[in-house]
Each structure stands twice: as structure tokens, then as C-alpha cells.
Amino acid sequence: MNRKMKCLGCSLANKMEAVNVIYENDSVCCILDHDPFNEGHVLILPKQHAEDVDDLNEETANAVIQAARLISKAIKTLYKPDGITICQNGGIFSELTHFHMHVVPRYKHQSFADFYLEMPLDNGDSKKKLLKTRNELAAMITKNNEEINH
């Protein structure tokens, strides 16, 4: 069986599953997390299968970092977080068995330990706004890219 058929991360990155894409290029697909820590929580997934950061080729690794830069700028503009956490969980800590990087807006007085707990997050409002969030972030990234390229 084709590896992409077995890997949820490959299915998400290649839009074989329903996803809220905010940015993509030939190497990566950036989607809203379906269970966001905060509004604007994004996953960056390579389109080619890789399980861990050391499995990424140089081109894909660079594409991941460039996407993180674009997304961070858009998040800062739209949601005015106190900071952004960028993290990647590999090995047994990866829920997808496919490399993915989280870009998470954070606010003062939030414990990021909640991100790693098995308990459900109090994120009903963020979940209700996924389409609105997708549209806002995608538009801001497009705008920022146009400004850079002119």
C-alpha cells in the first residue's frame, strides 16, 4: 500500500482529508489545527512523507521555516499575541507519525502545559471560528507576500 494512504499527516498535507488551508507551496501545506490551543494555531506539514525533523531534506526544512516566518507575521498582525510558540513533537510524541510543526499564538498568564495534557481544551469559541480564522490568516499571508515581492 502507498505510504500516503496509510499516513494521516500525508493525507492532511495533500488535502485528501478536509482541512483549513491558510498557506501552501510545492513543499508544505499549512492548516489550522482542528483542536486549537488559541485562535490562529497552525500546523505546518511537508507534502512528502517525513516522520522527524532529521528526515526532512534541506529544501523542505527551509520551506517549513519560511512558512513559520510568514505565519508568525500574520498571527502577530491579526491576533496581537504576547508571544508565539513554535514546536515540533517527534518520535512517540507525534500524534501523526508525520513531521508537523505547530505555530501557536500565546497570551500572558496561559500555561503552555495545558497544550500537552490529555484533557480537552476550553477552545469552543476558537473551533467555531475556524473558517473565519482561515480566511483572515490566508488573506494576511497573501497580503504580506505581495508586499515582500513588490
Task: Please name every residue paired with 87 in a beta bridge, in sequence order, or none if there are none.
Answer: 102
Could you tell me the domains of the chain? 3-148 (3.30.428.10)
What was the pLDDT predicted at 109? 86
User: Distance between CA atoms of 55 and 125, rounded to whole angstroms?
Assistant: 36
Q: How far apart are CA 10 and CA 46, in angstroms?
A: 8
Contact 42, 71 (CB under 8 A): yes
Cβ-contact 36, 21 below 8 angstroms: no
Please, are residues 114 and 121 in contact by the beta-carbon 8 Å criterion? yes
- Residue 9 DSSP label: H
pLDDT of residue 115: 65
Rounded CA-CA distance 15/106 in Å is: 27
What's the pLDDT tens digit per position in 36-71? 999 999 999 999 999 999 999 999 999 999 999 999
Tens of pLDDT, residues 74-130: 999 999 999 999 999 888 888 888 999 999 999 998 877 766 666 677 788 888 889
3-state helix, strand, coil in the chain (%, to 5): 45, 15, 40
Question: Amino acid identity of 85?
Answer: T
